[in-house]
Chains A and B, each alone.
Chain A
Amino acid sequence: MSIKDKVIAIIAEQAVLEPSDVRMESTLDDLGIDSLGLVESIFSIEEEFDISVPFNANDPQASDFDISTVASIVAGIERLQAEQS
C-alpha cells in the first residue's frame, strides 16, 4: 500500500466512509472529522508510519505539518519520513 492509500484508509476509517469517498483534495472538515477525530487521525498516522508529528490541538494551524487536505497530509508524512528516518 502506498502512503496515499494508507492515509486514505486511516481518514476513511475515522470519518466512517468508504476509501473511495475520500479524495486528495478533501479537507478533514469536508469529511466530518472533528477535533477529537483529528487527534486520533494524527495518532494513527504516527503509529502507521513510525513518525512523530508536531501537532498541538491548541493551534492546529501553527505546526509545520499541514493538515488542510488529504494531499497536504500525505506530503507532510513524506517529509517527516525523510527527516526522521
Chain B
Amino acid sequence: MKRVVITGAGTINALGHDVPSTLAAMRDGTCGIGPLELRDVDRLSIQIGGQVRGFEAEGRYNRQQMSLYDRFTQFTLAAAKEAIDQSGLSFSGELAAKSGVVLGTAGGGVSTWDDNYRSVYEDGKNRVHPFVVPKLMNNAAASHVSMEHNLKGPSFTVSTACASSNHAMAQAFTMVRSGLAPAMITGGSESMLCFGGVKAWEGLRVMSRDACRPFSANRNGMVQGEGAGVFVFEEYDHARARGAQILCEVAGFAMSSDASDIVMPSKNGASRAMAGALADAGINRDEVGYINAHGTGTAANDKTECAAVADVFGPHADKLMISSTKSMHGHLIGGTGAVELLACIMALRDGVIAPTIGYEEPDPECALDVVPNEAREAKVKVAISNAFAFGGMNAVLALRAA
C-alpha cells in the first residue's frame, strides 16, 4: 500500500476566498455568519448564514462559462485552482491519464433549480435556458475541474448529505493508496444559500435564528454556510521525487452507516467510524491530539458526538482537543468536511488549534475540551475529522503531521 499526502489546498467560504485568509480567520476566531443577502429573504424565518461575500463570478469567468457554471461549480473551480497551483502539478501524459477528480456535494446546482423553477412556475415562462441540466447536475463541478486541469482518470461525485466531502476524500484516498492513481483532486462544495435552499432547511425546525454555538448549553441549532474546499492527494514517493511541499499525510479513514434513523444521529455509528479510522491508519487512541468535530450546534448532534468521543477514547477524551469551526463558517453541508480539513492541516502543520466560537455555557453532556472562543497553540501529531450525515452515513478521516 502507498502512503498518501496532501500537496495542495484551496478554498472559498464565508471566512475567506483562499486558504491563507481562511486560516487567519480561524486563528482569530472570526465569525463569518451574518444576515443573508438574497432574493425574498423577508419571506424566510431563518435569515442568517455563512455567505460568501465579494465573490464576483463576472470577470472571473467568461459569458459562455457563466451559462454553464452554477455557483457551486464556480466555488469549486476557484478552490481547485488554488490547490493545484500550490501543488505545482500540471497534468499531462500518463499522470493526466491516471489522475482524476472525486468531489462531494449534497445539492449540486441548487440555485439553478431555484432560479428556473421560479421562472417557469412564478413568472409563467415556458422556456428555460438550454444548459439548465448540465449546469445543475451534481457532477458538474467535478466535470469542469477535470476539463480545466486535464484530469482523465477516475472521476465522479459523491452525495451523502453532510458527509459528502469526507466520503469523497475517502474515495480519493483509497485510489491513491492502492496505486490506482498517482494523484487525485478531491474535496467538495455546496451553494444552497438561495430562497428554496434555505426554505427547505427551515422546514426541519433545527436551524438557529441567531448563531451557531456548538457544544454550548444554550445552543439552538445549525446555521448554513456555502463554499468549497479542494485538495491534491498525492502518492508520497511521487510527491517526494519532485520535491513537493507536503501539508500533511492522510493516514486512514473509515465509513459506517447507522442503519437506524433518517435524521437522528447514533453514538454507535459515530464511534465505529472514529475507531475504524484509527484502526485503518494504525494510530493509537492516545496519539490523537485534535478532533475537528462534526459539531453542528444542534442539540442532538453535539451530545451524541461527545458521547461517541468519550466511548472511543476513554480517559484520553479528556486530554484531546475537539472544536467545531462551523461556529465560524457555518455548515457547508456537502462541502463541510473539505473546509474543515483545513483546520486539521492548521493543527498539524502550524500547531494552531481553531476554536469553537460562540461558546457561552458549559453543557455537562458535552464535557470535553472544545477550545472555547480562542485559538490555542499546541503541538499535534495526529488529527481526525468527523462527518456524520443525515441518513446515518458517517465518514471519518485520520491525518498525520508531515
Q: Do A57 and B205 touch (CB < 8 A)?
A: yes
**A44-59 to B contact mask, C-beta < 8 Å, 1/0:** 0000000010011111
Q: Mark B294-315, 1 if CB is under 8 A from A, else 0.
A: 0000111000000000000000
From A7-15, A24-32, A35-43, give the one contacting chain B: A35-43
Quick check: B299 and A42 within 8 Å, CB to CB? no
From A36, A42, A56, residue with most partner B Cβ within 10 Å: A56
Most-contacted residue by chain B among A36, A57, A59, A62 (CB, 10 A): A57
30 contacts between A and B (CB under 8 A): A35-B263, A35-B264, A36-B262, A36-B263, A39-B204, A39-B205, A42-B205, A43-B203, A52-B45, A55-B205, A56-B205, A56-B206, A56-B208, A56-B220, A56-B221, A57-B204, A57-B205, A57-B206, A57-B221, A57-B299, A58-B206, A58-B208, A58-B219, A58-B220, A58-B298, A58-B299, A58-B300, A59-B220, A59-B299, A62-B220
Residues from chain B with Cβ under 8 Å of A36 in the complex: 262-263
**A59–B262 CA distance with the chains assembled, in angstroms:** 19
Residue of A nearest to B205 (CB): A57
Q: Select from chain A the residue with minimum beta-carbon distance to B203.
A: A43
What band does the interface of chain B fall in when counting residues whose beta carbon is under 8 Å from A? Answer: 10 to 19
How far apart sit A52 and B44, CA to CA, in the bound complex (Å)? 12
Report the minimal beta-carbon distance from A40 to chain B, rounded to whole angstroms.
Answer: 10
Q: Determine the distance from Cα of A41 to Cα of B170 in the docked complex, in whole angstroms.
A: 39
- How many angstroms between the C-alpha atoms of A39 and B201 in the bound complex? 13
The main secondary structure of chain A at its interface with chain B is: loop
Interface residue ranges, B against A (CB under 8 Å) = 45, 203-206, 208, 219-221, 262-264, 298-300
Q: Which residues of A contact B219 (CB under 8 A)?
A: 58
CB distance from A9 to the nearest CB of B (A): 22
Chain A contacts for B45, CB-based, 8 A? 52
Give Cα A69 to B220, complex, Å: 23
What residue of chain A has the Cβ atom nearest to residue B300's Cβ?
A58
Contacts A35-B264, A39-B205, A57-B205 known; list 9 others, CB within 8 Å.
Answer: A36-B263, A56-B206, A56-B208, A57-B204, A58-B208, A58-B220, A58-B300, A59-B299, A62-B220
Query: Could you tell me the distance in whole angstroms from the C-beta of B29 to the nearest C-beta in chain A?
Result: 23
Q: How far is the CA of A43 from the CA of B45 in the complex (A)?
A: 14
State in angstroms the CA–CA spacing of A57 and B262 once bound together.
15
Q: How far is the CB of A26 from chain B (nearest CB, A)?
A: 22
Quick one: closest A residue to B298, CB to CB? A58
52-83 of chain A: CB within 8 A of chain B:
52, 55-59, 62
Report A60 CB to chain B, min CB distance, Å: 9
Among B45, B205, B263, chain A packs the most CB atoms within 10 A around the CB of: B205
Rounded to whole Å, the gap between the CB of B16 and the closest CB of chain A is 29
Q: A38's closest neighbor in chain B, by CB?
A: B205
Chain B residues near A59: list those with CB within 8 A. Answer: 220, 299
Report the minimal beta-carbon distance from B202 to chain A, rounded to whole angstroms: 11
Interfacial chain A residues near B205, Cβ < 8 Å: 39, 42, 55-57
Asked whether, in the complex, the Cβ of B262 is within 8 Å of the Cβ of A58, the reply is: no
Is the pair A58, B221 in contact by a Cβ cutoff of 8 Å? yes
Closest 7 CB pairs of A and B: A58-B299, A57-B205, A58-B221, A57-B206, A58-B220, A39-B205, A58-B298
**What residues of A have a CB within 8 angstroms of the CB of B221 in the complex?**
56-58
CB-based nearest B residue for A62: B220
Hey, which chain A residues are within 8 Å of B220, CB to CB?
A: 56, 58-59, 62
Give complex CA distance A42, B206 in Å. Answer: 13
Q: How many Å from the CB of A85 to the closest CB on chain B?
A: 19
